[in-house]
């Protein structure tokens, strides 16, 4: 079975098809009468179509990498090109291009801004109709343009909400998989400690008692080769049990890098870039979970609020302690107000003697830095 085209590809194809249908009468005239291109009105119409098509292509193909200012600029180019075509051509068909602009505005702008854009273009086109018809006819045509734009807005909004819901589902699924990794690591550590305690308390106790009794027997009776051998075996077994218990208690590292990889793998947007110091591991469960939640909140903020395309997360050991830095290329903000998620992370880190700082600026994304002092559990 072939791969299903993405929503972006389908929208691009639909927009090009709609533009082609609207531009077809004009382009057919040029093909039939190539000399008409020399006429100023035809040349201006051709330039307007070219500008519209170029702006539409950039909006569709590079929508994720465009800043808000560039999005508005490209939408404005398309709208102005449409007004120019309506004025030059005097054909109502060209106004249909505004429906394509409305759909793009719904995908690229906040909901209120998109509706405001539709209202503004509807009011702006009314004078063009009044030039060529009476007020009643102009109102009729303007209402039709508004209806097409609202329909396109509704469809695009549904597509946008569906894409956001799928992205949110993927993000939550990734968080569940990463949380499962952390839980399994915690369970593994707890089980190892339980077994170590059992070895120490049960087997170790009996071997100690056996070794003491054999030592007493050696001194109470003439030395016997079998008795000496049994005493040596008992002491050797006791030493091995103690070594195993000591090793099991020391090998308690939680695989935080693996959890972060699972967390980032299922996030469709932003794209997460991990830079984890090789060999770093944590045997402090509270510390590992605090850093995990810190990275999780950074991903959530970049996806839901920052509109970021990329998120860079690094985990390293520095003289000040374990350091996690998360930086995105989102819209940023003049003033950062921590929500309940990041506030909870700051409190969690503070309880471990650490701290979290957040820096941001308009158009320069957000940088989160968490530092937690080492507590003798890093390898």
Residue with tokens 């935080």: 256
Which is more confident, 339 or 75? 75
**Does the pLDDT of residue 6 top 80, yes or no?**
no
Same structural domain for residues 136 and 219? no
User: Per-residue pLDDT tens for 27-64?
Assistant: 888 788 777 777 888 888 888 888 988 888 888 776 66
Same structural domain for residues 23 and 50? yes
The predicted model scores a pTM of 0.55
Same structural domain for residues 127 and 272? no
3-state secondary structure of 327: strand
Confirm if 196 and 248 have CB atoms less than 8 A apart: yes
Q: Of the candidates 318, 147, 183, which has an alpha carbon nearest to the alpha carbon of residue 258?
A: 183
Q: Of the candidates 241, 298, 223, 230, which has an alpha carbon nearest to the alpha carbon of residue 267?
A: 298
> ∠ at Cα 190 (189, 193), nearest 5°?
85
Q: Of the candidates 173, 352, 167, 165, which has an alpha carbon nearest to the alpha carbon of residue 271?
A: 167
**Does the pLDDT of residue 206 top 50, yes or no?**
yes
Burial tier of 218 (Cβ tally within 10 Å: 0-12, 13-18, 19+): middle
Same structural domain for residues 31 and 157? yes
Give the residues across from 366 on adjacent strands: 360
User: What pLDDT was estimated at residue 1?
Assistant: 41
Same structural domain for residues 49 and 126? yes
Q: Which of 250, 265, 280 is the last residue of a domain?
A: 250
Burial tier of 245 (Cβ tally within 10 Å: 0-12, 13-18, 19+): buried
Q: Of the candidates 109, 216, 200, which has an alpha carbon nearest to the alpha carbon of residue 153?
A: 109
* Separation between Cα atoms, residue 15 and residue 117, nearest integer Å: 18
Same structural domain for residues 137 and 26? yes
Q: How many domains does the chain have?
A: 3
Same structural domain for residues 246 and 282? no
Same structural domain for residues 339 and 285? yes
Examine residue 181 and state whether it is found in any structural domain, yes or no: no
Q: In percent, how much of the chain has pLDDT > 90? A: 2
* Separation between Cα atoms, residue 357 and residue 65, nearest integer Å: 27
Cis-peptide, bond into residue 270, ω within 30° of zero: yes
CATH number, residue 367: 3.30.565.10
User: Per-residue pLDDT tens for 135-192?
Assistant: 888 888 888 889 988 998 888 888 777 777 776 677 676 666 666 666 665 666 666 6
* Separation between Cα atoms, residue 320 and residue 372, nearest integer Å: 8
* Separation between Cα atoms, residue 112 and residue 114, nearest integer Å: 5
Q: Indicate the pairing of strand 321-328 with strand 271-276.
A: unpaired
pLDDT tier for residue 119 given thresholds of 50, 70 and 90: very high
Backbone torsions φ then ψ of 317, nearest 5 degrees: -110, 125
User: Per-residue pLDDT tens for 121-136?
Assistant: 989 888 888 877 788 8
Strand order in the sheet with 355-360: 271-276, 310-318, 321-328, 366-372, 355-360
Confirm if 124 and 102 have CB atoms less than 8 A apart: no
Q: Of the candidates 238, 301, 234, which has an alpha carbon nearest to the alpha carbon of residue 272?
A: 301
Examine residue 162 and state whether it is found in any structural domain, yes or no: yes
Confirm if 303 and 326 have CB atoms less than 8 A apart: no
Q: How many residues make up the chain in this entry?
A: 379
Q: How far apart are the first and last CA of the chain?
A: 48
Same structural domain for residues 132 and 242? no
Largest CA distance in the chain: 129
Burial tier of 24 (Cβ tally within 10 Å: 0-12, 13-18, 19+): exposed
List, in sequence order, the alpha helices (H) in 199-311: 204-220, 225-250, 256-265, 285-301
Average of per-residue pLDDT across 85-98? 79
User: What pLDDT was estimated at residue 2?
Assistant: 45
Question: Where in the sequence is the domain holding 241, given as residue range(s)?
Answer: 193-250
* Separation between Cα atoms, residue 33 and residue 144, nearest integer Å: 32
Same structural domain for residues 264 and 326? yes
Same structural domain for residues 246 and 272? no
Examine residue 291 and state whether it is found in any structural domain, yes or no: yes
Which is more confident, 302 or 52? 52
Confirm if 311 and 298 have CB atoms less than 8 A apart: yes
């Amino acid at each position: 079975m072939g791969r299903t085209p993405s929503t972006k590809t389908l929208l691009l194809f639909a927009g090009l098809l709609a533009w082609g249908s609207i531009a077809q009468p004009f382009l057919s005239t040029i093909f039939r009468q190539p000399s008409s291109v020399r006429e100023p009105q035809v040349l201006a119409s051709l330039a307007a179509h070219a500008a519209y098509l170029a702006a539409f292509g950039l909006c569709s193909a590079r929508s994720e990498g465009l800043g808000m200012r560039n999005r508005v600029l490209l939408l404005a180019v398309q709208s102005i090109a449409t007004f120019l075509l309506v004025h030059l051509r005097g054909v109502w068909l060209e106004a249909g291009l505004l429906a394509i602009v409305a759909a793009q505005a719904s995908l690229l702008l906040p909901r209120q801004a998109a509706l405001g854009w539709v209202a503004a273009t509807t009011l702006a086109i009314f004078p063009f109709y009044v030039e060529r018809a009476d007020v009643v006819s102009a109102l009729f045509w303007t209402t039709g343009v508004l209806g097409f734009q609202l329909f396109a807005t509704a469809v695009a909004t549904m597509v946008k909400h569906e894409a956001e819901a799928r992205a949110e589902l993927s993000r939550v699924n990734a968080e569940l998989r990463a949380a499962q990794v952390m839980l399994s690591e915690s369970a593994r550590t707890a089980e190892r400690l339980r077994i170590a305690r059992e070895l120490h308390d049960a087997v170790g106790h009996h071997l100690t008692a056996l070794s003491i009794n054999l030592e007493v027997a050696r001194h109470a009776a003439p030395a016997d080769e079998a008795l000496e051998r049994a005493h040596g075996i008992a002491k050797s077994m006791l030493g091995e049990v103690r070594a195993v218990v000591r090793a099991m208690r020391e090998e308690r590292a939680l695989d935080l890098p693996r959890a972060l990889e699972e967390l980032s793998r299922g996030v469709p947007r932003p794209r997460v870039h991990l830079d984890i110091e090789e060999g770093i591991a944590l045997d402090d469960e509270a510390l590992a979970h605090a850093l995990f939640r810190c990275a999780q909140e950074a991903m959530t903020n970049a996806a839901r609020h920052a509109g970021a395309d990329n998120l860079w997360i690094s985990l390293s050991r520095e003289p000040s302690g374990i350091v996690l830095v998360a930086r995105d290329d989102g819209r940023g903000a003049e003033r950062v107000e921590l929500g309940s998620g990041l506030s909870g992370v700051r409190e969690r880190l503070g309880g471990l003697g650490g701290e979290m700082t957040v820096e941001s600026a308009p158009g320069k994304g957000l940088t989160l830095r968490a530092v937690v002092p080492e507590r003798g559990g890093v390898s």
